[in-house]
Amino acid sequence: MLEENKDQQDQPDEAIASEGQDNGQAEAQEPTPKTFTQADIDEIITKRLERERSKAQKAAEEAKRKADEVAMEQRQEWEQLAKQREAQLSELEAKATEADETLKTTSEKYDALKESVSAYVEAQLANVPEATQQLLNKLPLKDRIEWLATNAKDIKRQVHPVPETPKPQLGDKADRESLRRNSSFNYKRKF
């Protein structure tokens, strides 16, 4: 390869020399082209390769720097997104805690109300015959309340006050005599 380069270098010199002879003095005034030795060519190629390597290295460093910047921006975006998600999560946790407290309070109120209503229903069922009570106790509380509401008039009618003492029947002579005595006794007392 070195020989080929020398041949190529020698050929232009010969071509220029032959042209110079043809043109005569016009060529003589022009400077002769510079000839390079193999060492000069190697040095030029080495310098050019170093320049290209340094350009490639600078381009690679620039690309790496840009990639690092993009990665940094993405990390910052992810960090910002993570912070937003964390804020949303803490907000939702606060709402969940508040909802738990509300549920607990509401549950306590519900239990107290249920006990009160159950006591009221049991008091109302006291006026219902025992067989009906047994059937009603198998129903849910809501159904018992509805039954009591629809049958309230019938329940009050079923409640019997203490009946009057019946008057004795006067079939026996002894009973008539005791009645006469009692009535006369009362009559005498009145005067």
**Range name among 41-55, 123-137, 138-152, 169-183 with the lowest pLDDT average:** 169-183
**Range name among 15-24, 67-76, 78-87 with the lowest pLDDT average:** 15-24
Q: Tell me: the pLDDT tens digits for 90-141?
A: 999 999 999 999 999 999 999 998 888 888 888 888 878 888 888 888 989 8
Give the separation between CA 46 and CA 39, rounded to whole angstroms. 10
C-alpha 52: how far from chain center: 56
Residue matched to tokens 């050929």: 11
Q: How many helices (H) and strands (E) would you count in the chain?
A: 7, 0
- CA angle, 91 then 93 then 99, to 5°: 105
pLDDT of residue 135: 87
Give the separation between CA 33 and CA 13, rounded to whole angstroms. 8
Judge whether 129 and 158 are in contact, CB under 8 Å: yes
Q: Which residues contact 129 (CB under 8 A, 6 or more apart)?
A: 158
Coil, helix or strand at residue 70: helix
C-alpha 13: how far from chain center: 85
Map out the domains of the chain as residue ranges: 37-103
Q: Tell me: the pLDDT tens digits for 7-20?
A: 455 454 444 444 44
C-alpha 159: how far from chain center: 58
**Nearest-CA neighbor of 38 among 8, 73, 65, 66?**
8
Q: Is the pTM of this model over 0.95?
A: no
